[in-house]
Chain A
Amino acid sequence: MSRDHDDPISSPLRRKLLQALAAVPAAGALGTGTLGLAASRALAATSPTSGVNTTGLAVTDDTVTVGILHSVTGTMAISETGSVEAEKLAIEQINAQGGVLGRKILTIQEDGQSDWPTFAEKARKLLVDDHCAAVFGCWTSASRKAVLPVFEQYNGMLYYPTFYEGLEQSKNVIYTGQEATQQILAGLNWVQDEKKAKSFYLLGSDYIWPRTSNKIARKHIENVLHGKVVGEEYFPLGHTQFNSVINKIKLTKPDVIYAIVVGGSNVAFYKQLKAAGIDLSKQTLMTISVTEDEILGIGGENIAGAYACMKYFESLKNPNNEKFVPAFQAKYGKDAVIGDVTQAAYLGPWLWKLTCEKAGSFDIDKIAAASPGIEFKGAPEGYVRIHENHHLWSKTRVGRARPDGQYDVVYETADLMEPNPFPKGYQ
């Protein structure tokens, strides 16, 4: 509702972005570098606005406007800040390379305030009033569910960064995080091979993502790995007393504790686990909910030894990541940590740029149609590709938590995992 966005200089965010833009060396180039620059210049010359924008999006001869929609206030701000930072970094780097189809990206940032109707309102504003060519945003499933009808109704394009429970697929969304089967199956296979695990204890916070993920994990354990689930348990969000379940774990002595606890509960859970004498260097614990971001609150010493299964860790060794991490920390401070979702958020603008260039247009329908098959070789996690179902082909990795809050990558799948949001046999 603020009128800030009409005036580029009055918004503090915008000002910061502009300063950062000026400060960044043009060679902050990831991906295709000067070649890309030349290519997009060439494209711009051959792509008049009337040609690349037939549906009234906010595209001029030298700019294109996109939206960023995350919570920067409220309870979710902790988690979503990293995504905003990554998206801005990516946009800045793209602009430094000459933008998209020869046009600089302008951003309009809106705050979802950790409140789902607000997300829906802001999404509508970004699409209806601002005619954003793409929106990068949302974090929780609830916020995505709230905006999804808006994006479908007004035909917008959302790049959604979080790993999530799957069971969704939309023409108007590109899911740059992993859906549940991608994140879970390979990790379970690995833990069975590596740890000879037969029995599993599943637990999580009580809402849709942990429940769906554990359901998939249970099916995989029982039907594919022929292991045994010795317990499955859920706790209300914010729950801080885990002694009872820890006792159950001690009694059932599972080979693997599979934990999908989120938020503040995490801290209590790992502290109490440690206090109860469960030594994570001996007891295998696998989580899919603890990124480097969460460890800051839990305390590295409390979770050291646990395994996390996701697609990206900050400590990942590859040339892309070795450029990405310093670039991120140069912009946001050397203490900034990068979790899985932050990296996935970084992919959004790049994938969109590549898709626009392939489609030769900003039109949503053409972007949606051109998305499958888009490859991004400059991703910090390594090569990724967009699947027919608008999710990403990506590798799954297992990391082991170190006391300093980082993960050692101990395993990665040989091939890209296929995204399968509606997994047959797992529902």
Chain B
Amino acid sequence: MLGDYTPDQLLSIFAMQGFAGLILFSVFVLMALGLAIIFGQMGVINMAHGEFMILGAYTTFLTSKLFALYLPALFPIYFFVAMILAFIAAGALGMLVEWALIRHLYRRPLDTLLATWGLSLILQQTYRSVFGAREVGVELPQWTMGAVSLTDTIEVPINGIFVMVLTLLITAAVGLLMYRSGWGRKVRAVVQNRTMAGAVGIDTEKVDRMTFGIGCGIAGVAGSAFTMIGSTGPTSGQLYIVDTFLVVVFGGAQSLLGTIASAFTISQTRSTLEFFTSGSMAQVVTLLGVVIILMLRPQGLFALKVRR
């Protein structure tokens, strides 16, 4: 299989596949970070996570339309505004959902799964009614197009680099927020011992709502970034949900580092397999591998505990 290529080509293959894997990795991390916070920290199964992402994507779509109409001069930078709006929109909806649904269900994780699935159906239909059943094309600023040539054979798409940088920034921000800020301390305190945290004066309800909101907000940003590489339709979000959950579970649900490591492992495996086999097989083999490893090592890569 490798024999078909010259050494030069092989080098380019590995370099470009490495980048392709990194882009996939960024996508996984962006998808999984929000979920890792919501699922890992709060124990809530948010099946509507994909729909929060799509909300971000639709926000980006609307922003691009508004900029094209009223601020054409600023169109090249609309994307940054869109991402902030996406964060706010998804985060606000997240807090609303937490208030209306999730807070009643903290002791019934399986029921949050069903309730959020219902929510995802409602959101999907809402998108369909508002934006139409067809995928919408988000027009991108010109600078996001094209590729950077490193050598003759090695080219890296600009939007891939953009997504990677974005991932890095968001991950760093989430890391700081969780482990270096007062709020992060509160979140971790609530997760570890809700009663005790309440007893020392932490407003646990508020912390929960903020945590859920921020998780959803990150999903919104992810969705915004995805308009660069994927499609935006009412049901696009559903496609991501299995992958995302597997990434989080595989990493060990409570560890952000684990989520990142597992996203890296899964994305590189899949991207490499995709090159040497085919798209369908790569996906099956990767999913199967993850499931089998999870059966052998249910706590995931970096977990604290899963066994009861």
Contact = CB atoms under 8 A, between A and B. Distances in A.
Is chain B in direct contact with chain A in the complex (CB below 8 A)?
yes
Interface of A: 75, 77-78, 206, 233-236, 238-241, 243-248, 250-251, 264-268, 271-272, 274-277, 296-299, 301-302
27 contacts: A233-B278, A234-B278, A235-B278, A241-B274, A243-B271, A244-B17, A244-B20, A244-B271, A244-B275, A246-B20, A247-B13, A247-B16, A250-B16, A251-B9, A251-B12, A267-B232, A271-B230, A275-B144, A275-B228, A275-B229, A276-B157, A277-B146, A277-B149, A296-B135, A297-B137, A298-B135, A299-B138
Given A264-B236, A271-B229, A241 B145 contact: no
Contacts of B283: 236, 239
A236 B19 CA distance: 22
B233 interface: yes
Contact of B146 (A275, A297, A301): A275
Given A240-B230, A268-B231, A271-B228, A234 B144 contact: no
A200 B103 CA distance: 56
Given A247-B16, A297-B233, A276 B147 contact: yes
A240 B239 contact: yes
A239 B242 CA distance: 13
B279 interface: yes
Nearest to A233: B278
Contacts of A264: 135, 230-231, 233, 235-236, 239
B27 A241 contact: yes
B151 interface: no
A194 to B, nearest CB: 27
Interface in B23-81: 23-24, 27
Interface string B128-158: 0000011111110000111101000101011
Nearest to B17: A247
A268 to B, nearest CB: 5
A297 B134 contact: yes
A137 to B, nearest CB: 19
B91 interface: no
Query: Nearest 6 pairs between A and B by C-beta?
Result: A299-B137, A267-B231, A297-B135, A277-B147, A235-B279, A243-B20
Contacts of A75: 235
A274 B13 CA distance: 19
B46 to A, nearest CB: 20
B12 A233 contact: no
A136 B17 CA distance: 47
A239 B279 contact: yes
Contacts of A299: 137-139
B134 A78 contact: yes
Nearest to A231: B278
Given A241-B24, A302-B137, A250 B280 contact: no
A77 B5 CA distance: 45
A241 B243 CA distance: 13
Given A234-B280, A264-B135, A251 B153 contact: yes
Contacts of B157: 243, 272, 275-277
A275 B136 contact: no
Contacts of B27: 241
Contacts of B16: 247, 250-251
A275 B20 contact: no
Contacts of A275: 144-147, 157-160, 228-229
Interface in B202-216: none
Contacts of A206: 279-280
A264 to B, nearest CB: 4
Contacts of B228: 271, 275
A397 to B, nearest CB: 24
A296 B137 contact: yes
Contacts of B271: 243-244
A297 B57 CA distance: 14
Contact of B5 (A251, A267, A301): A251
A206 B299 CA distance: 33
Given A245-B274, A266-B231, 4 more contacts: A206-B280, A244-B271, A275-B147, A296-B135
Nearest to A236: B280
A78 B160 CA distance: 30
Nearest to A81: B133
B185 to A, nearest CB: 37
A272 B229 contact: yes
B137 A298 contact: yes
B224 to A, nearest CB: 15
Contacts of B5: 251
A36 B20 CA distance: 61
Given A243-B271, A297-B136, A250 B153 contact: yes
Given A244-B275, A276-B147, A267 B24 contact: no
